[in-house]
Amino acid sequence: MELQITWFFLWGLLWAIFFVTDGFDFGIGTLMPFLAKNDTEKRVMLNAMGPLWDGNEVWLIAAGGVTFAAFPILYATMFSALYSALMLILFALILRGVAMEFRGKVENVIWRQVWDFCVFFGSVVPAVLFGVAFANFFKGIPIDAEGIYHGNLFSLLNGYGLLGGLLFLFLFLEHGALWLSIKSDGDLHDRAVRTAHGLWWILIAVALLFLTATRFETRLYDNYYANPVLFLLVLINLAAFLQVKWFLIKKAYFTAWFSSALAIICCTFFGLIGLFPNMLPSSVDRAADITALNASSSPLTLKIMLTVVIIFIPIILAYQIWAYNLFKGKVTKADLAAEDAY
């Protein structure tokens, strides 16, 4: 049981790291049509995330791989029930990657406008659908005891699911605006800072609305009422949100970005702790709930995987820290003139 609990929270941690690292990519891609006033500014925005975005998606692969290997029943049910939504996310992510590579290959306005739209589409769609998916995880989806899903793509687009999509979108927009504040200068930098200030108020409103709706739409608060000490996580989350605004006012943009990262991690674990031990609750039959206990692989598999994770996760983290350090600093004209620039 200890192994299953350990893997439940490792599974959540991998998703949280993915949301932190690729979240600012989603935010910048979504903001690009609204913040960039010319092609140079669009290229600055693309190159602000360019050297890092594909490395960030390693965490998505890791989270998906862990779901498959540690919780195969969850993986099978999830990819059966949410197949349309997950394929839409996958196609959007592929389209974004292709757009970033192809956009600069031809000096043509229409060519670049088409790929600009693809960057926007490939950023906003995953941001919203990840939120919709996790909100439906928290709420429960109509699956029976055999894991058969009694719904469709539009069943997931219920009010609470869409509210989760909005929360994720504004989390990533704020995260992206902060990253752009770090990586840009001049007018684009000023617009990014003003956007981060404005988005903060919307994000707080959406987060409070989501917290309230969670009380009525899910069973997440049961674990918190049973163990009130868990509400400390909500307080830390609130403090992280407030720190974002505080450091923005102080013009400490890097610290504000770290506070935003902490807020995203806390938001993810707020849901997971409330969900535990469930991973995919059923909205029609509680006996059909998929939990960390009934969906896991054998203890031997979990032990082997834990050994692999203990060895390789620090290596991946070290590599990513090295990469972020290598590409620190603002995007300059020299960066845009480089042969491998976007």
| pLDDT tens digits, one per residue of 56-82 | 888 999 999 999 999 999 999 888 888
Residue 275 falls inside a structural domain? yes
Q: What is the pLDDT of residue 164?
A: 96
Residue 342 falls inside a structural domain? no
Residues of the chain with pLDDT under 70: none
**Measured between alpha carbons, how far is 211 from 228 in angstroms, rounded to an integer?**
16
Residue 87 falls inside a structural domain? yes
Q: What is the pLDDT of residue 337?
A: 81
Number of structural domains the chain divides into: 1
Comparing CA positions, the residue from 6, 330, 16, 27 lying closest to residue 195 is 27
Comparing CA positions, the residue from 85, 17, 10, 92 lying closest to residue 55 is 17
| Residues in contact with 24: Cβ distance below 8 Å, sequence separation at least 6, in sequence order | 49, 172, 175, 176, 178, 179, 257
Distance of CA 64 to the CA centre of its chain: 13
DSSP 26-91: HHHHHHHHHH--SHHHHHHHHHHHTTTHHHHTHHHHHHHHHHHHH-HHHHHHHHHHTHHHHHHHHH
Residue 227 falls inside a structural domain? yes
Residue 200 falls inside a structural domain? yes
Q: What is the pLDDT of residue 51?
A: 82
Domain ranges, residue 194: 1-337
Q: What is the pLDDT of residue 180?
A: 96
Q: Which two tokens stand for residue 324?
A: 């972020």
Residue 320 falls inside a structural domain? yes
